[in-house]
Amino acid sequence: MSRRWTNDLTASDVTPEALFLNRRQVMAGAGALGIAGGLAGAANAETLEPNAFEDITNYCNYYEFGTGKEDPAKYAGALTTDPWTVQIDGMVDKPGDYSFDDIMSQMDIEERIYRFRCVEAWSMVVPWNGFELADLLDMVGVKPEAKYVAFETALRPEEMPGVRYPVLDWPYVEGLRLDEARHPLTLMATGLYGKPLPNQNGAPLRLVVPWKYGFKSIKSVVRITLTDTQPATAWNKANAGEYGFYSNVNPEVDHPRWSQASERPLGGGLFARRKPTLMFNGYDEVAGLYEGMDLVKNF
């Protein structure tokens, strides 16, 4: 398959592996000072430093395994990822239950070094391994009437202790417009740093949409549905005023509780110098998808 996307990042831009895998401890330290979520309050916390490596290796964030920062590392190992099946249904020519192995046998896997921007106003650079979602959609055939793609995360109460609590309306769900899903940048990730995805990062298959805030990149996908109706999304259902359907990275549209104009790159310490946030996270090639749209109303 010919490559349809070119990259402006190199290996030197990549967030170090240990920092990426354990980034949530950094945010936990910020939360202790009342600035979790990337609030621009660094001046209030100059004495706080990130925890030692031994501490941060046990932190991640995957609410299905609990809201405590230690919970995913403690419980995500219980998630059975082999075998894994993805149900693909709705407005497709070949609906069915597709095993992860069958999908992988028909996809071209490549590395994509992408910027990653969290809605909490921190950022990093990640080398994903995966395939373009468009290739999977082509494999099953999309009917002409389809306009959206809906995604669903695994829901396994016996393996996911966090779903016993109504933190969100389980299962976790997300969605894209069909043209967003077909864009060459939209990736189904199967690994990072040349290794299979860790359970806490969405094993074995997750979505990566680099011009949108990170929560749009749904983890541990078990269902993909083609539909003509805009699908519900987990955080939008939880708080529509804070989390819109599109959730494009946009420095001109603040979160109701903090600015999105700048971000703190991971890897330079808890209070590393912030940098301006780029529109669409720097991926200007997607701007045409939203031509004529009010990106304040359609946030």
| Ranges of the chain with pLDDT below 70 | 1-6, 8-61, 68-69, 267-272
As a whole number of angstroms, the distance between CA 119 and CA 295 comes to 16
What single-letter DSSP state applies at residue 293? -
What single-letter DSSP state applies at residue 255? B
* Length reported for the chain: 299
Pick from 288, 283, 294: which is nearest to 113 by CA? 283
What residue ranges define each of the domains in the chain, with the CATH number in brackets?
Answer: 11-290 (3.90.420.10)
Helix-strand-coil percent breakdown of the chain, rounded to 5?
25, 25, 50
- Known binding residues for Mo-molybdopterin: 63-64, 118, 153, 201, 206, 217-219
pTM of the model: 0.84
Segment 265-288, tens digit of pLDDT: 876 655 668 999 999 999 999 999
Per the listing, tokens 């069909």 go with: 178
- Known binding residues: 63-64, 118, 153, 201, 206, 217-219
The whole-number pLDDT of residue 14 equals: 63
The whole-number pLDDT of residue 245 equals: 98
| Tokens (6 digits) for 151 | 């995604």
Give, in order, the Cα–Cα distances in Å from 88 to each of 101, 143, 151, 173.
15, 13, 9, 14
